[in-house]
Amino acid sequence: MQEIGFGDLPLYSYDHDADFPQVAKNFKAAIGEVDAVRFVTPEYNRSIPAR
């Protein structure tokens, strides 16, 4: 099992659709190299969960 962190990813903005920031490109490449993905986080946009 390998952890792929996402703490450095910026919040989504359509302004980046044409050219993703390098940190997002690295994240996408890391996701593309694995067989399965499991997301485990209680966070909501790096804040408290919504109710």
Task: Give the model confidence (pLDDT) of 8-42 as tens digits.
Answer: 999 999 998 999 999 999 999 999 999 999 877 66
User: Considering the entire predicted model, what is its pTM?
Assistant: 0.68
Nearest CA to 1 out of 35, 42, 26, 41 is that of: 35
Contacts 24+ apart (CB under 8 A), 34-41: 34/2, 34/4
What is the domain range of residue 28? 1-51
Q: How many domains does the chain have?
A: 1
Contact 42, 29 (CB under 8 A): no
Number of Cβ within a 10 Å radius of residue 1 = 5
Number of Cβ within a 10 Å radius of residue 26 = 14
